[in-house]
Amino acid sequence: MTLTSPGPTLGVVGGGQLGRMLGEAAAPLGVEVVVVDPTPDCPAAPVVRDQIEGDFDDADALHRLADRSDWLTYEIELADPDLLEEAGDDAGVPVHPRPGTLQTIQDKLVQNRAMEDASVPVPAYRRVDDVDALHAALDALGTPAMLKAREGGYDGRGTALIEERGDAADALAAVAGPALVEEFVEFERELAVMGCKGAAAPGDDPGDVAVDDDGAVDAFPVTETIHEDEILRATASPPRAPDDRRAAARDVALDVLDALDGRGVYGVELFDTGDAILFNEVAPRPHNSGHWTIEGCHTSQFQQHVRAVTGRPLGDTGRRAPTASANLLGGEGIEGRPPARLEGEDAIFAEPRAHLHWYGKREVYALRKMGHVTVVGERGGDVDASLARARELRDGTSFTSGGTD
């Protein structure tokens, strides 16, 4: 390859915080970013070359994006795989991860089956299209159980906990559409692994590796993810778990990657039951559970995604030091969508080794992801102090229209 100015262009479907942090990471590499996003002046807009205003399934916008791009990727699963493939084909531009992978992941039933086919341990589940099927599934799986919409759910939306058999009809109405029901997993902790598929591994001689080869597979260090109400609140890496649990999680994540096609980073979410590592779900893009890598690793998940998609060798995924992060979410008490104004962030700036990331969203609403704070610990120390401090710093902030959560 050569470096040019203006550089090659990475077209990204979605211009939220992930698109913004992709833009921040791409610039030093000489890669320009153009995003498609429906929100005028989306979070990525101030730090990327251009925003094409359009919905994620706006064929015209995607074609205009492809015409300006050297590669296409996406930072949101709402991207339309068929349109992406068509826009890429028409412009002669590769799409990574592959649209087929996006299709697999968009339907949780198809996703689970693909994982089973790759020998990834998946919680017991059943497809349910009506109440009778759900009752039958609950007879087999027992209660409690988790009902999950097959498509479109995220951050707790599209899921319903079924405490007992009598909740079945209400739960099915709540998820409103094709669904699957999973055994309730009693986990000790949740873990996440940012997997990477690239053209070559760090240290490989790039001359030996063709971009279209199967390429290299790697993973960032395993991360503990802490959810409340199914929304990620904080992360800690290394996880507070025995070494063998971390090794097992990494192995499962690498098996998950086997089932997926195309270059990029993948956020693999797992349950650790103490006895087993079970697959939860995977996102074919940078993921909230990997934000800590910006300061905590030698290469960030965002730079890694840019490297991978553009066919560069993967970067070094090593962890610099124990690192924790906490999300800045709109408080649950916030009503409507008032302008975003965060107070109490001075303490983050005043804390050595704390790092603020503000996403630039104009409006805040309850539980909206508005930013995050990362605390890097002492090398060789443990992660508890960093996690406690990240949470304290988060708890010290509030939106003028309500608290943070």
Which residue ranges make up the site for its own copies (CB under 8 A)? 1-7, 20-21, 23-24, 27-30, 32, 41, 46-49, 200, 202-207, 298, 307, 312-313, 315-316, 318, 320, 339-343, 345-347, 349-353, 355-362, 371, 376, 379, 400
Identify the helix (H) or strand (E) that includes residue 315.
none
Closest CA to 270 of 258, 256, 291: 256
Q: At its nearest, how many Å lie between its own copies and the CB of residue 246?
A: 21
Q: How far apart are CB 3 and its own copies at their closest, in Å?
A: 4
CB of 296 to its own copies, least distance (A): 11
Q: Nearest approach, Cβ of 276 to its own copies (angstroms)?
A: 33
How is residue 281 annotated by DSSP? E
**CA dist., res. 77 & res. 176, Å (int):** 19
SS3 163: coil
Helix axes 99-106, 108-117, angle to 10 degrees: 110
Q: How far is the CB of 224 from its own copies (least distance, A)?
A: 23
Q: Which two tokens stand for residue 237?
A: 């890496």
Distance CA 195, CA 290 (A): 10
Residue 246 tokens read as 């971390």
Q: 3-state class of 183 per DSSP?
A: strand
**Paired sense of beta strands 32-37 and 9-13, if any:** parallel
Q: Where are the beta strands (DSSP E) in 125-283?
A: 125-128, 145-149, 159-162, 179-183, 189-198, 216-219, 223-228, 231-237, 264-272, 277-283
What's the min distance (Å) between Cβ of 201 and its own copies? 9
374 near 306, Cβ under 8 Å? no
Q: CB of 46: closest distance to its own copies in angstroms?
A: 5
CB 259, min distance to its own copies, A? 27
For residue 103, which of 132, 83, 129, 126 has the smallest C-alpha distance? 83
Report angle CA 202, 208, 209 to the nearest 5 degrees: 65
Identity of the residue, 286 or 313, whose beta carbon is nearer to its own copies in the bound complex: 313
CB of 257 to its own copies, least distance (A): 20
For residue 342 the two structure tokens come to: 């965060």
What amino acid is encoded at 196 in this protein? Answer: C
CA 296/CA 17 separation, integer angstroms = 18
Between the CA of residue 129 and those of 73, 143, 371, what are the distances in Å?
32, 18, 38
Could you give the residue ranges of the DSSP H alpha helices within 144-269?
Answer: 168-175, 243-258
Nearer to its own copies, 6 or 166 (CB): 6
Nearer CB in complex with its own copies: 30/100: 30
Q: Are the CB atoms for 257 and 197 separated by under 8 Å?
A: yes
In the bound state with its own copies, the residue whose beta carbon lies nearer, of 3 and 335, is 3
Nearer to its own copies, 112 or 397 (CB): 397
Closer by beta carbon to its own copies, 41 or else 132: 41
Q: Of 336 and 352, which has the nearer Cβ to its own copies?
A: 352
Distance CA 275, CA 350 (A): 42
| Cβ–Cβ under 8 Å, residues 264 and 96 | yes
CB of 8 to its own copies, least distance (A): 11
Closer Cβ to its own copies, 32 or 182, answer by number? 32
Reading the block at residue 269, the tokens are: 């979410």
Taking the least distance from each CB to its own copies, the nearer of 27 and 254 is: 27
Residue with smaller CB distance to its own copies, 21 or 278: 21
